[in-house]
Amino acid sequence: MATKMTMPQLGESVTEGTISRWLVGPGDTVQKYEPIAEVLTDKVSAEIPSSYTGTIEQLLVDENETVAVGVDICTIVEEASSEAEESNKEIKTEQKPNPPAKEQTKAEPSQKSRYSPAVVRLAQEHGLDLTTISGSGRGGRITRKDVEAYIAGNHTPEPQQPPAQAKQQEPVRSTPSQAIAAHDQEIPVTGVRKAIAENMVKSKMEVPHAWTMVEVDVTNLVKLRDKKKAAFKEQEGISLTYFPFFMKACVEALKEFPEINAQWNGTTIVRKKDINLSLAVATEDALYVPVIHQADELTIKGLAKKADELAKKARTGKLTGADMQGGTFTLNNTGSFGSILSQPIINSPQAAILSVESIVKRPVVRETEEGDVIAIRHMVNLCLSLDHRVLDGLVCGRFLASMKRRLEQMNEDSTSIY
């Protein structure tokens, strides 16, 4: 008898996952703990291991389909039960028709009317009535392949149906079909991009964003880093970038102003005791936000090594659920790709997010004993987005002033990397 495998929970707050790629197919033999599928959630990209040793009987979920935690995703005929199944073959043959028929009757109404965006788009573009198409998916659900097969078979829908169906499904599309030209490329929205979109829209819709910025003279910091980077690379095996210095100034300012290290909780504001620094890490096609836990307990060297480790895991698809959980404040290194000004979207439910922009040389007026002079200095903008339900301009201004002071005072005499 086949055993069902369900979508596992890949994190404490994860409620669903997207099967991005099946690593096995029906008839394949798998060992217990062998990866059978790649899954994407809003927290992590991971592989699902098989819970049993046996043979894959059926895949119940299509690739790029999102299902809730606990939903059946495949069936496996366990190796240990194969002999028992063979000996009871006649009994199983007699009993098998009834339960599937009952299950199918129960699942049919809820599954057949569930259409993915790709199915809806195809139906609208070709003027099809989806109720006239037979589905081959689980519970009779119509898949994209079903629609493509219907189109390839030159089936013609009844003339009165397409307008009503298209009008009913139109809200699903974000742009009208006539806006897509023949030479345009449509890129499917897969798991990570879908999760990013949903989280960003939710944050902008629910959180009243406010924004503020300060500019910082980091000339002495640039000199410090330039003097130390060669020896650091030789000793530690990784590059010493500017970012760990900003991380250090940030966590020290968060300790000084714990109001910033907080979350909105509906009827209360939760001020977090731990300072867990979320870092925005971009890959070619996605954005991940892994977390450095207890970041205030690390040196500049420790922050550099931990950030490098998480960035490598993100770019190789090896982040775990634990790597993504528990962040209390987000730091975004937009300066790494040349940005000098940005307005980041808050990583809800956190209360704020800070973007460190690119360090650039600019002429700056400096006060001296002889009077004001114009000097070439290394300047950087720090851009803070804040949740105005939790924070106001006064405390945020003081927080940024603290960071500015700490960064401008960093030099070889005052700052220890180790």
What share of the chain has pLDDT > 90, as a percent?
Answer: 50
Q: What would the mean pLDDT of 63-79 be, rounded to a whole number?
A: 89
Q: What would the mean pLDDT of 369-386 be, rounded to a whole number?
A: 95
The per-residue pLDDT for 328 is 97
Query: Could you give the CA distance from residue 410 to residue 405 in angstroms, rounded to a whole number?
Result: 9
Lowest-pLDDT range of 10-19, 210-219, 287-296, 303-312: 10-19
What share of the chain has pLDDT > 70, as a percent?
Answer: 81
Reference 307, options 381, 348, 254, 247; nearest CA is 247
Query: Could you give the CA distance from residue 21 to residue 37 in angstroms, rounded to a whole number?
Result: 6
- CA 148 to the chain's CA centroid: 31
Give whichever of 11-15, 26-30, 194-198 has the largest mean pLDDT. 26-30
Q: What would the mean pLDDT of 333-356 be, rounded to a whole number?
A: 95
Per-residue burial over 137-173, b = 16 or more CB atoms within 10 Å of its CB, e = otherwise = bbbbbbbbebbeebeeeeeebeeeebeebbeebeeee
The per-residue pLDDT for 128 is 79
Sign of CA dihedral 7, 13, 16, 19: negative
Task: Please tell me the pTM assigned to this model.
Answer: 0.64
Which is it for strands 209-217 and 371-387: parallel, antiparallel or unpaired? Answer: antiparallel
The per-residue pLDDT for 118 is 63
Q: What would the mean pLDDT of 77-96 be, rounded to a whole number?
A: 52
Which is it for strands 329-332 and 281-282: parallel, antiparallel or unpaired? Answer: unpaired
Query: Could you give the CA distance from residue 354 to residue 410 in angstroms, rounded to a whole number?
Result: 19
The per-residue pLDDT for 121 is 66
User: Does position 96 have pLDDT exceeding 80, yes or no?
Assistant: no
The per-residue pLDDT for 317 is 83
- For the chain, what is the mean pLDDT? 83
Four-point Cα dihedral 85, 78, 36, 44, nearest 10: 120
Q: What would the mean pLDDT of 394-416 be, rounded to a whole number?
A: 96
The per-residue pLDDT for 106 is 41
16 or 232: which leads in pLDDT: 232
Q: Which contiguous run of DSSP H or E holds residue 367?
A: strand 360-368
Domains and CATH numbers, the chain: 2-78 (2.40.50.100), 117-150 (4.10.320.10), 203-409 (3.30.559.10)
User: Does position 173 have pLDDT exceeding 50, yes or no?
Assistant: no
Q: What would the mean pLDDT of 98-108 be, rounded to a whole number?
A: 43
Cβ burial, residue 30 (10 Å; 0-12/13-18/19+) = buried
The per-residue pLDDT for 102 is 42
User: Does position 142 have pLDDT exceeding 70, yes or no?
Assistant: yes
pLDDT band, residue 171 (cuts 50/70/90): very low
120 or 157: which leads in pLDDT: 120
Q: Which residues are catalytic?
A: 388, 392
Name residue 360's amino acid.
V
User: Does position 273 have pLDDT exceeding 70, yes or no?
Assistant: yes
DSSP structural state of residue 68 = E
Cβ burial, residue 361 (10 Å; 0-12/13-18/19+) = exposed
User: Does position 139 have pLDDT exceeding 80, yes or no?
Assistant: no
149 or 233: which leads in pLDDT: 233
Between CA 50 and CA 55, with CA 53 as vertex, the angle to 5 degrees is 90
User: Does position 91 have pLDDT exceeding 60, yes or no?
Assistant: no
User: Does position 73 have pLDDT exceeding 60, yes or no?
Assistant: yes
Give whichever of 176-180, 233-237, 281-285, 365-369 has the largest mean pLDDT. 233-237
Lowest-pLDDT range of 68-77, 114-123, 327-336: 114-123
User: Does position 88 have pLDDT exceeding 60, yes or no?
Assistant: no
- Cα radius of gyration (the chain): 28
pLDDT band, residue 80 (cuts 50/70/90): low
